[in-house]
Homo-oligomer: A and B are copies of this chain.
């Protein structure tokens, strides 16, 4: 948790908040970071990798890191899942959803049909290929290490290409000329990002929350996954994401990364996690935080806090009759 006496270097003592994010500047990840309250005025530090961004949190250099966790167009998701799940000093305190929409940009206004080369990340290129085949059939694809790097490359002394395909944010930051927007072949894609900090107070319950956990799959029980899932279903807890990841300890050894609907402060969530703790004591709680979509939680009457309280009171009264 940090015992930095060297106060000047510790994030906790900085007046302006500092956040790292999976860089470079201007990517969808920075767009996600900018959704956080106060992030506009904060110091935002691009990191070369997810591990590097999270390492700055662990080292106390920043207050938090924004990293992709689900379906990123620029990668990093697996690294985030693994890093957050394995670390013992990182918690998720917020999530952000960013629509994945691309713009075609150039340094100066130019006719689209005149473009002969387009720089972008290969994942991004894959998502606009049909549009490009129709609109810029003569353009050659110039691979870049990120969509932001492609955008920056237009401003170098020897531009890497006539145009770039990138996130709207970097186009705006660099003052590039937007030739076309919303050019992705399949509209509606969204990437999910999370804000990761050192463990601290869990964000308050809002009634529209998610909780992220990591559960090592017990080896010695064939039906183990089903037994775990039953602990959710018997408490009416819905899952919104479940992913397996190898632990790296051998064939057939997995952990499950799970997002569930609800907050650890709710009895039904706490009770389900307690039940799973008995089966898999290495379960890890990675945070409860407000849903980015603010969709309120519907809780059935038999699993609301009142039902848990009534059951608890009944048992206590029964046990009061038990001889010591």
Q: Which residues of A contact B (CB under 8 A)?
A: 70-71, 97, 188-192, 199-205, 222-223, 225-227, 229-231, 233-234, 238-244, 246, 248, 250-252, 254, 264-265, 270, 273-275, 277-279, 281, 285, 288, 302-303, 307-308, 310-312, 314-315, 318-319, 321-324
Interface residue SS majority, chain A? mixed
Contact present for B319 and A270 (CB under 8 Å) = yes
Task: Provide the bound-state CA to CA distance between A188 and B252, in Å.
Answer: 13
Task: Provide the bound-state CA to CA distance between A33 and B85, in Å.
Answer: 35
Number of copies of this protein chain within its complex? 4
Smallest beta-carbon distance A180→chain B, Å: 23
Contact present for B226 and A230 (CB under 8 Å) = yes
Task: Provide the bound-state CA to CA distance between A151 and B111, in Å.
Answer: 52
What are some 24 contacts across the A-B interface (CB < 8 A)? A71-B250, A190-B251, A199-B321, A202-B318, A205-B322, A222-B238, A222-B239, A226-B233, A227-B234, A230-B230, A234-B275, A243-B244, A264-B322, A270-B319, A273-B315, A274-B314, A275-B311, A277-B315, A278-B302, A278-B308, A278-B310, A281-B307, A281-B310, A285-B318
Task: Provide the bound-state CA to CA distance between A270 and B321, in Å.
Answer: 13
> A321 and B223 in contact (CB under 8 A), knowing A234-B275, A278-B303?
no
Contact present for B264 and A319 (CB under 8 Å) = yes
Contact present for B323 and A277 (CB under 8 Å) = no
